[in-house]
Amino acid sequence: MSVDRLVILGVGLIGGSLALALKKCAAVAQVVGWSRREQTVLKALELGVIDQAETDIARALRGADIVVIAVPVGAMERLFRQIAPHLRQQTVVTDVGSTKGSVVEAARRAFGKLPPGFVPGHPIAGIERSGVEAAFAELYEGRRVILTPVAESDCAAVARVRNLWELCGAEVVEMDVLHHDEVLAATSHLPHLLAYALVDCLARMDESEEIFQFAAGGFRDFTRIASSDPQMWHDICLANQDALLAMLERFSGDLAQLTSAIRRGDGEYLKRTFLQAKQTRDRFCG
């Protein structure tokens, strides 16, 4: 599949890397980048990430084959409303948001009814740096991309979005919207929340300067994701509130048990917990 005109709304790490990956395999004739900030799209143009820079949404969408929405989930409804009058009937629209329930409902409110070309998606890829300067063509190689088609999604549109990501080297899977949000709350949203909370907790201690001076590799590994974009994660936490709260409550209960075990000197409980955790991580992440 070749795309004549790919439009990326929000040219940062995720959208920029998608553009570079498709350019690398010569799967796209023209990439148009749009942003509210002219500085952003001009930088993307300078770096060769896009071929045409636009800050006017109507000009950006003119003749679009596929539109990729790559803005924070909290900004999606406003952007959906902006693009609605300018979409051709045959245009495929997808997104890269980390929450899918909120994105689908935002689209439903903005469009009135979901267009058949709408295919929600989420690449499970990223690094702690953000912005178009961080984009690189290999970001999606060997990574998973989750598509969450809705009842209104046209099969041909789903196939086009699937192929788009497969051309980038990604493994594409399909999942129910609600199930996606539950899984990602556990595997992505909760870890980010914990990393932010730990760094903030230590920063507010009286000895914080000394603590960070002696932070070793384990601390850096665990808290690396606390360098991610705060606005993006603010939006994700609020957008996936129910699933994230359920995971927080479950984790809080396990943390309370761990606290109790340490207080009573229960080494067997600690050893068993640590061993189970190590075996599980080695099996899935080794």
Which tens digit of pLDDT belongs to each residue from 229-262?
898 899 999 999 999 999 999 999 999 999 999 9
Q: Are residues 224 and 268 in the same domain?
A: yes
What average pLDDT score do residues 75-85 get? 96
Which tens digit of pLDDT belongs to each residue from 124-152?
987 777 889 999 999 999 999 999 999 99
Which tens digit of pLDDT belongs to each residue from 152-186?
999 999 999 999 999 999 999 999 999 999 999 99
Q: Are residues 164 and 187 in the same domain?
A: no
pLDDT at position 128, please? Answer: 74
Which tens digit of pLDDT belongs to each residue from 4-50?
999 999 999 999 999 999 999 999 999 999 999 999 999 999 999 99
pLDDT at position 213, please? Answer: 84
- State which residues form the domain around 269: 179-285
What's the CATH number where 217 sits? 1.10.3660.10
Q: Are residues 14 and 136 in the same domain?
A: yes
Q: Are residues 188 and 165 in the same domain?
A: no
Q: Are residues 27 and 149 in the same domain?
A: yes
Looking at 175, 206, 231, the residue that finishes a domain is: 175
With 90 as the cut, is the pLDDT of residue 284 above it?
no
Q: Are residues 255 and 187 in the same domain?
A: yes
Pairing status of strand 118-119 against strand 121-123: unpaired
Q: Are residues 61 and 113 in the same domain?
A: yes
Q: Are 225 and 192 in contact (CB under 8 A)?
A: yes
Q: Going by C-beta distance under 8 Å and a sequence separation of 6 or more, which residues neighbour residue 61? A: 7, 67, 83, 86, 87, 91
Q: Are residues 155 and 211 in the same domain?
A: no
Q: Are 172 and 145 in contact (CB under 8 A)?
A: yes
Looking at 127, 142, 175, the residue that finishes a domain is: 175
pLDDT at position 218, please? Answer: 86
pLDDT at position 191, please? Answer: 95
pLDDT at position 215, please? Answer: 78
- Residue 97: pLDDT band with limits 50, 70, 90: very high
With 70 as the cut, is the pLDDT of residue 81 above it?
yes
Q: Are residues 188 and 262 in the same domain?
A: yes
pLDDT at position 1, please? Answer: 63
* Count of domains for the chain: 2
What average pLDDT score do residues 56-78 get? 95
Looking at 175, 199, 222, the residue that finishes a domain is: 175
Q: Are residues 18 and 130 in the same domain?
A: yes
Q: Are residues 65 and 132 in the same domain?
A: yes
What average pLDDT score do residues 208-222 get? 83
Q: Are residues 247 and 192 in the same domain?
A: yes
Which string of DSSP letters, residue by residue, matches 205-248? STTHHHHHHT--HHHHHHHGGGGS-HHHHHHHHHHTHHHHHHHH
Token pair for 88: 């051709």
How many Cα atoms sit within 13 Å of 123 on the Cβ side? 29
